[in-house]
């Protein structure tokens, strides 16, 4: 393959029928499939007035819910309050693909690039975290559709075959040639693959948020939804957090707002919102499912910089559907989080074209849902931490799309930081260091666009990274889709 030849997915866009694409998306709802559920719990009441707490958690996504749950497990007598600006799990926690990975650092290669001295330790801690995640699901009988069958990484270009062969050298990872891959998932695009059956689980992302909330309430956590925190100050030795209709006085505060503007303004330049998009098919017929294979509940990802992810799920009627997402990662000038960005017709059409290219036997399938949402992206692609106000306020963000499992670890770190004691986790370089902040506009927008174009160039040049990307890798200021 030469530099000038298009990628597999560029060819799919060129070859796909415009009418086929439009028809496939014509009835799609622009809401997360996971959240479009008649069993979604009713919202709790908003805070009205003044309350006090030993620990206040700001944010009702995975990070906040795991913080509240583990706080009560550590000390059942601790008075814990959690507030959420809208509804539990409504943002990234209810819109992601449901890949729960062991990695805490967005993959071994990224960890080696940023934290080579403790990358091996972080790998062990990540596996421990996923094991503890699974144990929690089982202990509280959480209905989150947890399955730990692994993920299949596939080569879609000839030069990537060597990559998956090298990945398969790792313990617990198997190499699959083209025919063996087709026996797992039938696609003419997949030239080879590697499958690791232990490091990734699949969950129903919205149910995970709802079940975490249920367990928190059963453990005694007070949860207030539609309660937006507006200001954080210190008053008479306590932390005071103001809301639209009330206030909370707390001994300790854990900030878990991720992509949304932090109450600690000094960290706002370290996180930018990058928008990711996904499609969900209508239920497959038995014949369609048989033609596709995919009998095992394994996740799927390709190896391009602009990568795709996909997974099966079983709906309320016992029918198989396929989620298909990724490729575009869009940053909007100004770095705002807006609901209008949750929909991108052009991206939905690209994803549909790529889906039908991957699975030409499914060209009669339509999509029931097409949605997007903001990812809390930082320049090192994995979480960072802070402790302020004399050790009374902890902060965690920057998961960059790999937060389903890693948020539990992030919550654990915040609780250790708030304890005031030195622990194995508080002494990690990962915890003590921070990513390079993004520059102000217009430099941030120009930089992201330049980085994206360079990643595309690398994809079209057998993965060889241009000098600009090598420089960004060296200084620790990169961008990954």
Collect all residues with Cβ–Cβ distance below 8 Å to 116 and sequence separation of at least 6.
Answer: none
Collect all residues with Cβ–Cβ distance below 8 Å to 311 and sequence separation of at least 6.
Answer: 97, 98, 99, 202, 297, 298, 299, 300, 322, 323
Return the bridge partners of 279, or none. 324, 370
The rounded distance, in Å, linking the Cα atoms of 37 and 144 is 13
Read off the pTM: 0.95
Q: In tens digits, what is the pLDDT along the chain, a chain of 481 residues?
A: 233 344 677 767 767 688 999 999 999 999 999 999 999 999 999 999 999 999 999 999 999 999 999 999 999 999 999 999 999 999 999 999 999 999 999 998 899 989 999 999 999 999 999 999 999 999 999 999 999 999 999 999 999 999 999 999 988 999 999 999 999 999 999 999 999 999 999 999 999 999 999 999 999 999 999 999 999 999 999 999 999 999 999 999 999 999 999 999 888 899 999 999 999 999 999 999 999 999 999 999 999 999 999 999 999 999 999 999 999 999 999 999 999 999 999 999 999 999 999 999 999 999 999 999 999 999 999 999 999 999 999 999 999 999 999 999 999 999 999 999 999 999 999 999 999 999 999 999 998 899 889 988 888 888 888 888 888 877 777 554 4
Contact between 445 and 142 (Cβ < 8 Å): no
Q: From residue 208, how far is each of 72, 198, 218 by CA, in Å? A: 18, 20, 15
Query: What does the block give as tokens for 136?
Result: 């929690």
Query: What does the block give as tokens for 356?
Result: 């039908």
Contact between 412 and 70 (Cβ < 8 Å): yes
Domains of the chain in start order, with CATH, are 49-144+203-271+379-432 (3.50.50.60)
Among left, alpha and beta (phi > 0; psi -120 to 50; other), residue 375 is: beta
């Amino acid at each position: 393959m030469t530099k000038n030849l298009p990628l597999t997915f560029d060819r799919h866009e060129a070859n796909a029928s415009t009418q086929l694409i439009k028809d496939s998306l014509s009835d799609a709802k622009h809401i997360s499939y996971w959240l479009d559920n008649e069993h979604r719990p009713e919202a709790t009441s908003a805070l009205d007035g003044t309350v006090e707490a030993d620990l206040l958690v700001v944010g009702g996504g995975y990070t906040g819910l795991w913080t509240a749950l583990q706080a009560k497990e550590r000390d059942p007598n601790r008075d814990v309050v959690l507030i959420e600006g809208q509804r539990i799990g409504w943002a990234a926690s209810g819109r992601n693909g449901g890949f729960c990975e062991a990695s805490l650092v967005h993959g071994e290669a990224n960890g080696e690039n940023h934290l080579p001295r403790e990358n091996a330790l972080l790998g062990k801690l990540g596996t421990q975290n996923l094991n503890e995640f699974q144990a929690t699901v089982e202990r509280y009988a959480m209905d989150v559709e947890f399955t730990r069958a692994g993920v299949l990484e596939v080569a879609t270009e000839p030069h990537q075959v060597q990559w998956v062969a090298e990945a398969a050298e790792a313990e617990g990872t198997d190499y699959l040639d083209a025919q063996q891959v087709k026996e797992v998932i039938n696609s003419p695009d997949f030239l080879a693959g590697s499958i690791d059956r232990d490091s990734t689980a699949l969950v129903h992302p919205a149910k995970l948020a709802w079940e975490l909330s249920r367990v928190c309430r059963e453990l005694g956590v007070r949860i207030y939804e539609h309660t937006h925190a507006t200001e954080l100050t210190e008053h008479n030795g306590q932390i005071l957090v103001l809301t639209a209709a009330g206030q909370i006085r707390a001994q300790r505060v854990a900030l878990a707002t991720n992509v949304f503007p932090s109450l600690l303004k000094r960290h706002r330049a370290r996180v930018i919102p990058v928008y990711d998009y996904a499609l969900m098919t209508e239920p497959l017929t038995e014949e369609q499912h048989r033609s596709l294979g995919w009998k095992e509940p394994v996740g799927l990802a390709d190896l391009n910089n602009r990568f795709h992810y996909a997974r099966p799920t079983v709906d309320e009627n016992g029918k198989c559907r396929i989620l298909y997402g990724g490729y575009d990662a869009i940053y909007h000038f100004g770095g705002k989080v807006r609901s209008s960005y949750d929909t991108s017709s052009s991206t939905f059409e690209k994803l549909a074209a790529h889906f039908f290219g991957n699975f030409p036997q499914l060209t009669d399938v339509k999509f029931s849902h097409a949605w997007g949402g903001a990812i809390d992206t930082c320049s090192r692609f994995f979480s960072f931490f802070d402790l302020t106000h004399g050790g009374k306020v902890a902060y965690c963000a920057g998961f960059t799309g790999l937060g389903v499992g890693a948020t539990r670890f992030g919550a654990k770190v915040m609780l250790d930081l708030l304890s005031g004691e030195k622990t194995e986790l508080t002494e990690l370089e990962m915890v003590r260091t921070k990513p390079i902040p993004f520059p102000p506009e217009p430099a941030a927008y120009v930089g992201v666009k330049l980085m994206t174009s360079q990643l595309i160039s690398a994809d079209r040049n057998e993965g060889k990274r241009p000098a600009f990307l090598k420089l960004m890798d060296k200084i620790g200021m990169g961008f990954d889709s």
